[in-house]
Amino acid sequence: QEEKLETEEIDHRSDVPGGPSHGDDDDDDDDEFATGSGSTGSGESSSTDDPTTILPVSPPVIPESGEPLGSGETVHTYRLTLIIQEPFRADYLDRNSADFKRIEDALAVGFNKTLQDLPGHRIIVVQGIHKHPDLFQSKVTLDLTTFNFSDNATLQTRILKEIEENRLIGGIVVLKKGFTFRDFQDCTKDEFMCDVTRCIPKSNVCNNEPDCQDYTDEQNCVQTAPGKILLSFSIYLSISILPMFT
């Protein structure tokens, strides 16, 4: 009797107008993938096979330049600066702002497209977007990390050619003037790359005293907790000001 009831339920579900016909397994599978709710024979979700489904990806762990990865890969990082034809906005100072992410995402897509036929794969991270003397331009500092490919000359030539011929990377106008390209390995592990032309001691980073002209050594630093500032101000009031009114 239970088997008969299950059969009736299946027949009723299949008779819904527009639904799959009896015995048409292929169409049933297609509907499952289209909705993203289907399951494989093992009972696991088949959404990973759906090209329209975007799954969260954990950020990669990037070791220091030149260190081998677990699968035999090698990683290399380069520091680049670009002048883009974009007026500077205050939101560019916030890495989590929509404007900052718009620039970073566009450049990441553009660089990957420009270098797509080279071996290995790449990760682009914008470190900062800064003011430029020209009000209609901004200066971008970014890190290009390459896996299994570290031909400096080829990378630099390919990027410069794209800028010279198209003046566009990821839909953003990029000027040849102001372009710099430097290997991160030029600085030691105890140094910080500054202005893409020199190295400073890491002890000078986040010390509230800018050493780099582009202020990259004072960006993304842990700020003093507001509670500590408030506490200091309260102590100042109690010692210096309040006695005047007693």
Taking only the tens place, the pLDDT of each residue in 189-239 is 777 777 655 778 888 889 888 888 777 788 878 765 444 444 444 444 444
Q: Has residue 70 been placed in a domain?
A: no
Are 103 and 28 part of one and the same domain?
A: no
Residue 169 lies in a domain: yes
Asked if 39 and 119 sit in the same domain, the reply is: no
Q: Among residues of the chain, what percentage have pLDDT more than 90?
A: 39
Do 9 and 93 lie in a common domain?
Answer: no
CB contact set of 185 (below 8 Å; sequence gap of 6+): 65, 66, 76
Would 25 be classed as within a structural domain? Answer: yes
Residues 35 and 135 in one domain: no
- 146-158 pLDDT, tens digit each: 999 989 899 999 9
- Cα–Cα distances (Å) from 208 to 197, 211, 216, 221, in that order, read 21, 9, 12, 9
Q: Is residue 96 part of a domain?
A: yes
Between 63-67, 98-102, 117-121, the lowest mean confidence (pLDDT) is in: 63-67
Are 34 and 129 in the same domain?
no
Q: For all residues of the chain together, what is the average pLDDT? A: 71
Domain boundaries, position 146? 78-218
One domain, residues 205 and 160: yes
Average pLDDT over residues 9-34: 43
Q: Are residues 88 and 183 in the same domain?
A: yes
Q: With H, G, I as helix, E, B as strand and everything else as coil, classify residue 112.
A: helix
Same domain, 39 and 118: no
Higher pLDDT, 22 or 199: 199
Structural domains of the chain, count: 2
Identify whether 61 is part of a domain.
no
Percentage of residues in the chain having pLDDT higher than 70: 58
The verdict on 20 and 94 lying in the same domain is no
Q: What is the pLDDT of residue 75?
A: 84
Is the same domain home to 45 and 88?
no
Better-scored residue on pLDDT, 59 or 107: 107
Give the contacts of 154 (CB within 8 A, at least 6 positions apart): 118
123: CATH: 3.30.70.960
Query: In a 10 Å sphere around its CB, with 0-12 CB exposed, 13-18 middle and 19+ buried, how is residue 133 labelled?
Result: exposed
Residues 174-186: tens digit of each pLDDT: 999 999 998 876 6
- Looking at per-residue pLDDT, the higher value among 224 and 77 belongs to 77
Q: Is residue 32 part of a domain?
A: yes
Residue 191 lies in a domain: yes
Q: Are residues 141 and 44 in the same domain?
A: no
Indicate whether 244 belongs to any domain. Answer: no
